[in-house]
Structure 1
Amino acid sequence: MPSEKEFEKKVKKFLDSLGHEVWYFKHWAGAYSKSGIPDIIGCISGHFMGIELKKEGGTPSPLQIRNVELIKAAKGYGYILYPKDFEAFKEDVKAIVKESKENDK
Structure 2
Amino acid sequence: MSTPEGKVKQKLDKALKQLGVWFYSPQAGPFGKAGIPDRVAIVRGRFVGIECKADKSKKPTALQTKTMKEIEMNGGKCFLVYDNETIQEVVLYIEGEQ
Q: Which band: TM-score by shorter chain?
A: 0.7 to 0.9
CA separation of 1:63/1:54 partners in 2, compared to 1, >3 Å: closer, same or farther?
same
**Structure 2 unaligned regions, length at least 5:** none
Number of residues of Structure 1 aligned to a counterpart in Structure 2: 94
Greater share of residues in helix? 1
**How far 1:28 sits from its partner (Å)?**
2.2
Query: Looking at CA atoms only, which structure, 1 or 2, has the larger radius of gyration?
Result: 1
Matches for 1:1-105 after TM superposition, within 5 Å: 3-19=4-20, 22-56=21-55, 57-83=57-83, 84-95=85-96
TM-score, length basis structure 1: 0.80
CA distance in 1, matches of 2:60, 2:88: 20
TM-score, length basis structure 2: 0.85
Q: Using the aligned pairs only, state the percent identity.
A: 29
CA distance in 2, matches of 1:67, 1:80: 12
CA distance in 1, matches of 2:50, 2:88: 14
After the TM superposition, which segments of 4 or more aligned residues of structure 1 sit over 4 Å from their partners? Answer: none
